């Protein structure tokens, strides 16, 4: 715990002397629980109200061939696949360090990781695996990026396998937005769901994990909107900390 706190966050004294900024964590459970802890360690007051729900598809795919390469671009993909089987004999490629960490936690040895987006994933595969390997992008029904398409164009055998569904919540979150300083969006689908419920976010700073997420939200009157330099939570937290320093 001490290592995580030290690595994450040297919090300025000024931030400790005033009320903690409140952050709306919109990502789905159970990932939202870990995010909430991360924000707490960083000196913020997180409120968890997911905009998306995770569920199993009505029909799950068969397990990939053992000589294949599994590609995970989200923690939900790692969890959903790992719940389907106890076998861990595949080579694994992940989109970033957070997903790599989770893959290791679930028992996959030596997962390779890209630098945070689908283009990096495709390039990593092109540079490290031959066309003899089948590539399986294991994820949800709203997969972002064009990994499979890019690999098919390069002559690889690649396919998408849907192990979970990510869908918008059906009831508007009962959150008091007047208490919110920062709203964190983790996906384009979450951004579109936020628009659907027409919150009055005047005075709230929205942080998107990627440009695609920002574009999905569009422009909201009176709302400051920033994009993380890298598509991971540590980069988002660093961005918000810097904004807090600028606000002092």
CA neighbor of 114 nearest in space, from 64, 69, 62 = 69
Count other C-beta atoms under 10 Å from residue 233's C-beta. Answer: 23
**Residue pLDDT tens, the chain, 248 long:** 444 444 444 555 444 556 899 999 999 998 899 999 999 999 999 999 999 999 999 998 999 988 899 999 999 999 999 999 999 999 999 998 889 999 999 999 999 999 877 889 999 999 999 999 999 999 999 877 789 999 999 999 999 999 999 999 999 999 999 999 999 999 999 999 999 999 999 999 999 998 889 999 988 888 899 999 988 899 999 999 999 988 76
Task: Show the domains of the chain with their CATH numbers.
Answer: 2-51+171-247 (3.40.50.10090), 54-167 (3.40.50.10090)
Sign of CA dihedral 33, 203, 116, 90: positive
Cis peptide upstream of residue 30 (ω within 30 degrees of 0): yes
> How far is CA 233 from its chain centroid?
8
Strand ranges inside 7-150, DSSP E: 22-25, 45-48, 52-55, 69-72, 91-94, 112-113, 134-140
CB 110 within 8 A of CB 89: no
């Amino acid at each position: 715990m001490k290592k995580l706190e030290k690595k994450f966050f040297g919090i300025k004294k000024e931030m400790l002397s005033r009320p903690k900024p409140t952050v709306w964590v919109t990502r789905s459970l159970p990932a939202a629980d870990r995010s909430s802890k991360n924000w707490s360690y960083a000196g913020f007051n997180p409120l968890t109200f997911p905009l998306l729900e995770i569920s199993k598809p009505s029909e799950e795919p068969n397990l990939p061939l053992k000589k294949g390469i599994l590609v995970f671009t989200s923690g939900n993909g790692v969890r959903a696949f790992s719940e389907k089987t106890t076998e861990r004999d595949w080579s694994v490629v992940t989109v970033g360090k957070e997903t790599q960490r989770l893959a290791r936690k679930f028992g996959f040895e030596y997962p390779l990781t890209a630098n945070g987006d689908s283009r990096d994933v495709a390039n990593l595969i092109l540079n490290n695996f031959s066309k003899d390997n089948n590539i399986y992008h294991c994820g949800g029904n709203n997969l972002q990026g064009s990994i499979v398409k890019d690999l098919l164009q390069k002559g690889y055998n690649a396919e998408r396998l849907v192990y979970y569904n990510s869908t918008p919540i059906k009831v508007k979150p009962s959150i008091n937005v007047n208490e919110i300083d920062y709203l964190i969006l983790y996906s384009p689908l979450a951004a579109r769901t936020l628009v659907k419920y027409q919150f009055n976010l005047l005075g709230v700073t929205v942080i998107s994990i990627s440009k695609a997420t920002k574009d999905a939200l569009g422009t909201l009157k009176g709302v400051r909107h920033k994009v993380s330099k890298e598509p991971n939570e540590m980069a988002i937290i660093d961005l918000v900390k810097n904004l807090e320093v600028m606000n002092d």
